[in-house]
Structure 1
């Protein structure tokens, strides 16, 4: 016996309901799968970010001297005080040469800073100097190896730790060949272009540094007084006779003025 029209209609309606149900289930399953995928990607991203941050700190401490984008400031002169974490505009460097005196252990070092070649870095350093950031800070790291001879200064806590509230980039005016002549003043970084903060280092003897990651921003040179710093601090050596570590002679910046 053939099925009645009512029965056929009911069968078609049941099939339609089943197709709609299956379609909804497929959409729901896709959404769940996509949500799981997005969660996995997010977790992996957090792990990668944490790993990069750790690597940056390791490079800062144990690699060459010494992720964030720079925060622009409305500051137009180095005399103006900045809030914590606020990076001065490159315009502060005025695209000119700044001269001044960096006094370490009462040794006056005449310095010249190139605001045209490294405007962002020089703006940061001259603003820090004007705000008295460097006064009383230490030079925590002395290196004397075959390829690197340097004194590193300006750590936020005197141990070489990165200032987590302040960072900027990019790398500027870095030698393409990785050669840093005696007297060069450059900024430390954590292995990435935007991990520079207040720390700088002075090259005490012609040195070679890695170019991977962009190298190190050269901000200027010591034009006089370096020989006295060498004889009184560098020649006294490094704690425990190491090649890289704290200088035997406690080393402090007593003043930094620029004009």
Structure 2
């Protein structure tokens, strides 16, 4: 009898021990799931992240890529020229891409601050040697974005300015339009990057508004159209938005 009771007590002890082990395993599993949720899964891009990249004609990275608060300080960075230096003036010049010349005109009447910036960049040779890192080829948006420091879309974060000027009320950018790329949702997120529409394009306004149209192409739009026709390198933001198949470098940019 005592032997049976001792055997029963042994079974009960093992059962209690097994229950404790099982409970501990559940706790560990729940904790591990929490860790994964906070790290691995949280690191996946969200739909909002993708749309910010796709819509950002930022610095397209003048996203039109990273977003900034609409409440960012409404001031220009040191070194940004005054709008008065270009106010009321028209500048003509050329943008040479991979040896092909694109004639351009910059309008200081419609966009004096933007015109002052790009006249200054032209005079200083800042954009020479920089790249056109982004191409879009969709039916509604066909642009080449230029002025980045490298193929990642990097730009000078210390050179930002505003306000927005000459933004289209209908959100349409006709073929040949030259507009300023900027950080999403920031009217003072303009920088040194710009984009050229090589076909009629439409870009919805964000919370800050549209994109400053600073000028237009006067000749040689076919130089950019050929780059567009070559297409987008696979692996970009989408099949029709990414680095151009043909690497593009700014040989020179002049305005007179």
Q: Which ranges of structure 1 fall in alignment gaps of 5 or more residues?
A: 1-56, 73-84
Assess if the C-alpha contact under 8 Å between 1:70 and 1:87 holds in 2: no
Cα distance per residue 1:193-229 (max 9 Å; x no partner)? 0000000000010011112321000000001101132
Mapped contact 2:144–2:224 kept (Cα < 8 A): no
Partner of residue 63, structure 2: none
1:86 deviates by 1.4
TM-score by length of 2: 0.70
Q: Could you give the per-residue CA deviations for residues 125-179 of structure 1, whole angstroms, max 9, x where no partner exists?
A: 1101111111000000000112100000001334223422110111100000101
Aligned residue number for residue 69 of structure 1: 74
**Do residues 228 (structure 1) and 233 (structure 2) align?**
no
Q: CA deviation at 1:234?
A: 1.2
Tell which deviates more after alignment, 132-141 or 235-244: 235-244
Q: How large is the Cα RMSD of the aligned pairs?
A: 2.0
Give the count of matched residue pairs: 191
The residue aligned with 1:257 is: 254
In structure 2, the residue corresponding to 1:188 is in which secondary structure? strand
Partner of 2:41: none
Q: State how far apart, in whole Å, the 2-side matches of 1:118 and 1:58 are.
A: 30
CA radius of gyration, larger in: 1
Structure (1/2) with the larger helix percentage? 1
Q: Deviations over 1:19-62 (max 9, x none)?
A: xxxxxxxxxxxxxxxxxxxxxxxxxxxxxxxxxxxxxx987743
Which of 148, 163, 173 is residue 156 of structure 2 equivalent to? 163
- Rounded to whole Å, the distance in 2 between the matches of 1:222 and 1:125 is 14
Q: TM-score, normalised by structure 1?
A: 0.69
- What stretches of structure 2 of length at least 5 have no aligned partner? 1-48, 59-71
